Amino acid sequence: MGASGNAYFRDNFMSNVVVVGSQWGDEGKGKIVDWLSERADVVVRFQGGHNAGHTLVVGNKTYKLSLLPSGVVREGKLGVIGNGVVIDPWALRDEIARLGEQGVAITAENLRIAENATLILPLHRELDAIREEAAGAGKIGTTKRGIGPAYEDKVGRRAIRVMDLQNLSTLKGKVERILTHHNALRRGLGQPEVGAEELFEQLSEIAPSILPYMDTVWSLLDQCRREGKRILFEGAQGAMLDIDHGTYPFVTSSNTIAGQAATGSGVGPGTLGYVLGITKAYTTRVGSGPFPTEQENDIGEKLGQRGHEFGTVTGRKRRCGWFDAVMVRQAIRTGGITAIALTKLDVLDGFDELKICVGYDLDGKPLDRLPASQGAQARVKPVYETLEGWQGTTQGARSWADLPAQAVKYVRRLEELIGAPVALLSTSPERDDTILVHDPFED
């Protein structure tokens, strides 16, 4: 490739950034995405649904987003919901209304939705709840918002998509097709069937609230790329909830690693430039599933209370534990993460000592990765390295010089263990309390 080709690649691809979680979600992506969105022109959601939540603090206002890309709260930014997202149109309508009450107007000028995105229907929510309740001890921790059943219909090729709301004359046939499957399921579960006319009327009613935002997103993003606009791809949840690479079956129903940014928005993989993995300075998890470093003791309680560890969407209490370097290193490798943004370092202020998981013990044998088997994941025991804590405060620090020496040592040791540098360091929920090592958009 000649000099002009290198310049074209740099200008049109490397300025794009993908943000993903490197743990089990809840890593603090909202603040980092908001911080980055000021530097971006377009912010794209590419997977998941309204089971994920981002909390943004802008000035003296707090915004809680589930479906909308974080960029929509900033003037002059275009928010895009890609085809990889499953959309509950009623939840989206309500979220748009809530933002409107906070003074953020959502219009076709600042929000576009992929025409080929799959819709979450009321029957998906009902099925999700019915099956989770029936699972008893086998529950996987779903949010009961219909995400999984909607993805099942997508791959089963019977989904109703955004574009289907545009032509009501053909919608009835698609409603009947999806109900052939769902009513059989409902009969087997002892539930009443869903009437085709009822579902058709629900979709007809919601269509005008969604269709104004519909667009051919893959083409839109291609045009943005050609115009040299900076695109920020915003992931939801975390790498260990990935349907393929996570702690299966205690995972979400989509791919959460960076590669999904291409598939879930209709751009080529070469469009993805820099991958930033949001990483909490300790570890949390919501719901069921393995958690090798979990602290079901006073330490876990202290981390949870100081970190305000409750889900943005569900309000569920998060399980808390020490930093798991083995898991994050694995997420970095499977996700192609360039660097990490380390969040919530201030929660560790005041601990006499801190532990980091540097390996696992599986049935008496050392292991340097999280195994794929559900049984093995449940049996692994963490191997810890202990570091001295710090009594000073990191809260609000905006430069390395503001950090206690032991806090700097902790961060540097994490970098060594996970095999990736820290690009940003967050020291409080406040947007400006961030230490910038290097700007992903300028790298």
DSSP state of 194: P
Does the annotation count 54 as an active-site position? yes
Cα of 6 vs its chain's centroid, Å: 32
pLDDT tens string, the chain, 443 residues long: the values are 444 444 433 444 457 999 999 999 989 888 888 889 889 999 999 999 997 677 777 777 888 888 999 888 888 999 999 999 999 999 999 999 999 999 999 999 999 999 999 999 999 999 988 887 776 666 666 778 899 999 999 999 999 999 999 999 899 999 999 999 999 999 999 999 999 999 999 999 999 999 999 999 999 999 999 999 999 999 989 999 999 999 999 999 999 999 999 999 999 999 998 999 999 999 999 888 999 999 999 999 999 999 989 765 566 789 999 999 999 999 999 999 999 999 999 999 999 999 999 999 999 999 999 999 999 999 999 999 999 999 999 999 999 999 999 999 999 999 999 999 999 999 888 778 889 988 898 86
Does the annotation count 181 as an active-site position? no
Residue 279 exposed, middle or buried by CB count within 10 Å (0-12, 13-18, 19+) = buried
Cα of 432 vs its chain's centroid, Å: 22
Indicate the pTM of the whole model: 0.91
Select which of 54, 124, 182, 245 is catalytic: 54
Within 13 Å of residue 231, how many CA atoms lie on the same side as its CB?
33
Q: Tokens for 269?
A: 């993989």
Q: Tokens for 426?
A: 């967050």
Q: What is the rounded CA–CA span in Å between residue 398 and residue 342? A: 13
174 torsion bin: left (phi>0), alpha (psi -120 to 50), beta (else): alpha
Contacts of 323 (CB under 8 A, 6+ apart): 280, 281, 282, 283, 293, 354, 355, 356, 357, 414
CB atoms within 10 A of CB 364: 6
332 in Cβ contact with 418 (< 8 Å): yes
Contacts of 146 (CB under 8 A, 6+ apart): 49, 86, 88, 120, 121, 122, 124, 125, 126, 127, 128
61 in Cβ contact with 102 (< 8 Å): yes
Q: Tokens for 311?
A: 């889900």
Select which of 26, 88, 164, 433 is catalytic: 26
